[in-house]
Structure 1
Amino acid sequence: MLNRLTMSLAALAAVAPVFAHAKQPLSEVPEIDDALYYIAVAKEIDDYCDRIDGRRLKALGVIWNLKSKANDMGYSDDEIRAYIDSDVEKARMRARGEAYLAANGVSYEKPESFCALGRAEIDRNSAIGVYLRAN
């Protein structure tokens, strides 16, 4: 019995480093996922409010930096592309964004509500507001 326990512990010790180095999904890396979420919400505001524009070049620069950061964290270009192209991830991000919009009084039937939120985000210089500019 003790021999079996010793062998089990030795086997666990041998594979533990493999588990310790396993990468989590990019959707669980806040510095990547949250930054993309902020950009996505800003784009939605830009799409529905004609008095606010998205700061596209700033967003593009951040996206390239996020890709580099993900590469530095050990994610391959294929893993990054799979995360970006995933229908499941797109649906998750959309649901998260729509929940934020709804919680802040935004309605797709009332484009002005997008403008009000956009102006508030700009005024607060929030993580979303930095990607927006009032016309």
Structure 2
Amino acid sequence: MIAETVCSAVSVAGLGIAAVTAYRRRFLKAARIAAYSLIPIGLVMTGVVGWAADTAFSPTAWAGFGALAASWALFATTRAVERRGGGSRKQRKEARSAPREAAEPAASARALGPGAGPAARPATKPGQSSADDFSDIEAILKKHGI
């Protein structure tokens, strides 16, 4: 009963402030204030305020909120452990020993077009320096005057 009275008083005060603001010819601001001031009375009329007041003073509701919080904490903890690499030792060992390969090695060759890929490009010789690897890039840069 007290919560409904307080919400009603807040709504009436807000509508009064909106009326004064409209009197000063600030209609947009007055309409916005009126919209905000109608929210508490709307909540009273729909019964949300009564439900919230009953819930706030109910030990059963607080126990339920505690159970929900514990559930959320368990979900968050298990998710963090899972992302960190949790699981059994056997799963971690298998994951480390599994070979890591591209999803489809030929996919990049098709994307680059003809003449690309491991078969089209000759392998570098062991005695070849890393400067020779960039010779084609240097040629392109010189061609464009860079």
Work out whether the TM-score is over 0.5: no
TM-score (norm 1): 0.24
Whose RCO is larger (CA < 8 A, sep 6+)?
Answer: 1
Larger Rg: 2
- Length-normalised TM-score, structure 2: 0.22
More strand by share: 1
